[in-house]
């Protein structure tokens, strides 16, 4: 991790303000969603990016009935179902 030297207080509602410099650097815009992780006493925020519902892959996704699925997994499912698909 890289220290920034920035310190912020938590308000009465549990909110913390992320400085504009950090938001710009990380490409976080107003209304963007953030994922929250906890690891070894640390809180980690990451810009939320929808991923494949089966494997978490982030590449080559399509949307199907409101869910993201990678083309790789679609091909694997088709093969498992005994279907042949062209690339």
User: What CATH number did the domain enclosing 24 receive?
Assistant: 2.10.260.10
Which of 48, 47, 49 has its CA nearest to residue 58?
A: 49
pLDDT of res. 30 = 94
42-47 and 67-70 beta bridge pairing = unpaired
Residues 78 and 44 in one domain: no
For residue 65, is it within any domain?
yes
Domain count, the chain: 2
According to the model, what pLDDT value does residue 13 have?
97
Note down the domain range covering 25. Answer: 7-48
pTM: 0.59
Q: Are residues 33 and 58 in the same domain?
A: no
Beta carbons within 8 Å of 50's beta carbon, 6+ residues apart: 61, 68
Q: Is the residue at 53 inside a domain? A: yes
| pLDDT in 10s for each residue of the chain, 87 residues | 788 899 999 999 999 999 999 999 999 999 999 999 999 999 999 988 889 999 989 899 999 998 899 999 999 999 999 998 876
Both tokens assigned to 1: 């991790």
What pLDDT score does 39 carry? 95
The CA radius of gyration of the chain, in Å to the nearest whole number, is 19
């Amino acid at each position: 991790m890289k220290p920034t030297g920035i310190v912020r207080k938590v308000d009465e509602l549990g909110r913390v303000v992320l400085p504009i410099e950090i938001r710009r650097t990380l490409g976080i815009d107003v209304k963007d969603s953030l994922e929250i992780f906890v690891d070894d006493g640390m809180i980690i925020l990451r810009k939320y990016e929808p991923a494949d519902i089966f494997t978490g892959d982030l590449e080559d996704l399509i949307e199907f009935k409101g869910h993201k699925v990678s083309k790789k997994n679609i091909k694997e499912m088709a093969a498992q179902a005994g279907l042949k698909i062209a690339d």
